[in-house]
Structure 1
Amino acid sequence: MSLADDSQGAGSIVGINWGSTNFRAYLIGADGVLLDEFSRPAGVAKLDRPGMEALMRELALQWPEHVPPASRYHSAVYAAGMIGSNVGWQEAPYVVAPAGLRELGAGTVPATIGGVMLRIVPGMTCTREHDGGPDILRGEEIELFGFARLHPEWDGFVALPGTHTKWVRFGGGQLLDFFTSMSGEMFDRLTSAGLLASIVEGEAHAGDAFYEGVRLGSERALGLGTLLFGARARVIRGQLARSESSSFLRGLLIGSEIADALAMHPGLKDASVPLIGSGPVCRLYAAALERLGVRSSFVDSRVACLMGFSALHREAGR
């Protein structure tokens, strides 16, 4: 669908989430409501610079009244994600936390791709209070500040379950610090190749095998490497059905990750943690958190993303 009638999108903006594997663009109304969307399986890892330019020209043809050429630039197109990394179109330097939406807006970088002028959104970096370790994120800042705009009084923790799950601490409207767990990527790689792939069948779900994995992963009586190999031994010895092995592995990884979160932020025990992401993976995290005595709630990632781009645009226009 193309929205050529400008009356349908007066005051609209375009927000682009351009990651490593996918390109998702949203036409967003002045009130933060989705008017149209455009997506391609064309992340920056799959495109050279001519390919990126061609994709932006395709987007401009899709929404000609809202993605104007450089000669009619009106500063209403924003691109977040890996497009602003050192493997993207142009690097947008990280904003150092603690920081809020104002600092994020000030850190946007103007660029022209395929004849379309836009602003590339920076990622964020922090030095964790807990251990002095560094961390980085790029792309998630849009969802995080979208959530913060929806809940302006929020002080506490937010989690974004996914391939690289982020656990973020907010306070006073600022992103304070965060840590990243690679448990999602570990699960994908362990179940697609290598020794454990040979024992995995079915999709993960919150059942007895999952909760046993959560218990073992969170208790940390043994290291994660030992526990992971133990999944194979359980299947070979007939103590774990192949159809439940995926659930058990997910439980081990998520349980260990939540143990990290509780070690860094003991206050999580008494908090309710918003989970921003897709339904299936968030349901697994919610089940694991509940089993470990932590409340949670679900936040649709697309809603947070739309509100984040809208909030960023309002901040940039000041």
Structure 2
Amino acid sequence: MEAPVPRADDFVGINWGSTNFRAYLIGADGVAIDEYSRPSGVAKLDRAGMEDLMRAVAAHWPGLQMAYAAGMIGSNVGWQDVPYVLAPAGLAEIARGMVGTVIGGVPVRLVPGMACRRAYDGGPDILRGEEIELFGFTQLHRGWDGFVALPGTHTKWVRFSGGKVVDFFTSMSGEMYDRLTSAGLLASIVEGEAQVGDAFLEGVRLGSARQLGLGTLLFGARARVIRGALPRTESASFLRGLLIGAEIADALAIHPGLAAAQIPLIGNGPLCQLYAAALESMQVGSWYVDSRAACVAGFTALHRLEMA
């Protein structure tokens, strides 16, 4: 199917991370008209490659006038390092922190990430790209106060109040799972994909109990398979459960109020299903939010602020 030609008031929102590139052509009414994606994150491209990709976007949508780009494209490994906005902050602070540039002949507004000092321990944390989904979520659910989780490679647990991100923390459990199951000793016992079931829930229970550290529990997965206590086909589920369970235990320690919350989960469906099952097993409610819808709503809100 031939790509639509942008109208004068259409704009493009780009989520440009380390591994993937996804662009949305969005109308002034906030409806996504078309999508263009490539497995071309900034970690795979030099500056010439970034320019070539933006030229491809302009060729796909000829006449493109306005583009916003969030994610690692605005980091020190991307096109240009855009300073973080310090939380507490809302969408207006994000808009003021944008930096204009040109990539491959296309004018682009680079969206800043966010930084915070956690109230829990005074520790620093950072995010890039998730701010679009977060503020998109608050456009879809006006007046939201409380917590939001974004399961992924680096899962974010975010606290909102008064329309602003107050603080957040990040867990690398997704990256840990990817690395442990792609190389090293544990990779030799993993077969299949993680799914909700007894092995996953047992992993959640052990990971969240905090009786043993993750280093011991993770090696224990290998011992279980070798000794016949865990089928190889369920090892991925058990490992995911250990990591997600430990992460949720951290979240509950940092934010005890989570125990009584209904937590929106923004991300891809299968991973959010694992988090939802883990939370339910720990008597915490949750519900799924489509990341694409949140992303489009976030870029739309940012564009309207910019045009106001």
Q: Normalising TM by the smaller chain, what interval?
A: over 0.9
Task: Note if contact 1:10-1:30 (Cα within 8 Å) is conserved in structure 2.
Answer: no
Provide the C-alpha distance between the structure 2 equivalents of 1:55 and 1:241, rounded to a whole number of angstroms.
44
Amino acid of the structure 2 residue aligned with 1:167: W
Provide the C-alpha distance between the structure 1 equivalents of 2:117 and 2:61, rounded to a whole number of angstroms.
40
| Deviation (angstroms), 1:57 | 1.0
Provide the C-alpha distance between the structure 1 equivalents of 2:149 and 2:219, rounded to a whole number of angstroms.
28
Provide the C-alpha distance between the structure 1 equivalents of 2:198 and 2:52, rounded to a whole number of angstroms.
49
Deviation track 1:95-131 (CA, whole Å, cap 9, x = no partner) reads 0000000000000000011111110000000000001
Unpaired segments of 5 or more residues in structure 1?
69-75
- Residue 27 of structure 2: aligned partner: 29
- Residue 77 of structure 2: aligned partner: 87
Of 33, 42, 45, the match for 1:44: 42
Unpaired segments of 5 or more residues in structure 2?
none
1:299-314 map, 5 Å: 299-314=289-304
Deviation track 1:64-97 (CA, whole Å, cap 9, x = no partner) reads 12x24xxxxxxx3101111100011111100000
Deviation track 1:19-77 (CA, whole Å, cap 9, x = no partner) reads 11111110011222110111111111111111111111111111112x24xxxxxxx31
Provide the C-alpha distance between the structure 1 equivalents of 2:201 and 2:97, rounded to a whole number of angstroms.
43
Of 186, 190, 204, the match for 2:194: 204
| Deviation (angstroms), 1:212 | 0.5
- Residue 73 of structure 1: aligned partner: none
- Residue 2 of structure 1: aligned partner: 3
Q: Does 1:236 align with 2:216?
A: no
- Residue 19 of structure 1: aligned partner: 17
- Residue 111 of structure 1: aligned partner: 101
Provide the C-alpha distance between the structure 2 equivalents of 1:297 and 1:11, rounded to a whole number of angstroms.
34
1:74-223 map, 5 Å: 76-223=66-213
Provide the C-alpha distance between the structure 2 equivalents of 1:128 and 1:309, rounded to a whole number of angstroms.
26
Length, aligned pairs only: 307
What secondary structure sits across from 1:191 in the alignment? helix
Amino acid of the structure 2 residue aligned with 1:166: K
What secondary structure sits across from 2:182 in the alignment? coil
Q: Percent identity?
A: 73
| Deviation (angstroms), 1:216 | 0.4
Provide the C-alpha distance between the structure 2 equivalents of 1:50 and 1:202, rounded to a whole number of angstroms.
38
Provide the C-alpha distance between the structure 1 equivalents of 2:175 and 2:20, rounded to a whole number of angstroms.
16
Provide the C-alpha distance between the structure 1 equivalents of 2:237 and 2:147, rounded to a whole number of angstroms.
26
- Residue 60 of structure 1: aligned partner: 58
1:221-260 map, 5 Å: 221-260=211-250
Q: Does 1:285 align with 2:264?
A: no
What secondary structure sits across from 2:169 in the alignment? strand
| Deviation (angstroms), 1:10 | 5.2
* Backbone CA RMSD of aligned residues: 0.9
TM-score (norm 1): 0.95
Which is further off, 40-49 or 104-113? 40-49
TM-score (norm 2): 0.98
Provide the C-alpha distance between the structure 2 equivalents of 1:42 and 1:239, rounded to a whole number of angstroms.
41
Of 261, 264, 270, the match for 1:274: 264
| Deviation (angstroms), 1:12 | 1.7
Provide the C-alpha distance between the structure 1 equivalents of 2:240 and 2:256, rounded to a whole number of angstroms.
23
Change (3 A) 1:225 1:261: same
Provide the C-alpha distance between the structure 2 equivalents of 1:43 and 1:33, rounded to a whole number of angstroms.
25
Amino acid of the structure 2 residue aligned with 1:96: L
Task: Note if contact 1:164-1:185 (Cα within 8 Å) is conserved in structure 2.
Answer: yes
Amino acid of the structure 2 residue aligned with 1:221: Q
Amino acid of the structure 2 residue aligned with 1:44: V
Amino acid of the structure 1 residue aligned with 2:38: R
| Deviation (angstroms), 1:11 | 2.4
What secondary structure sits across from 1:293 in the alignment? coil
After the TM superposition, which parts of structure 1 deviate over 4 Å for at least 4 consecutive aligned residues?
A: none
- Residue 315 of structure 1: aligned partner: 305
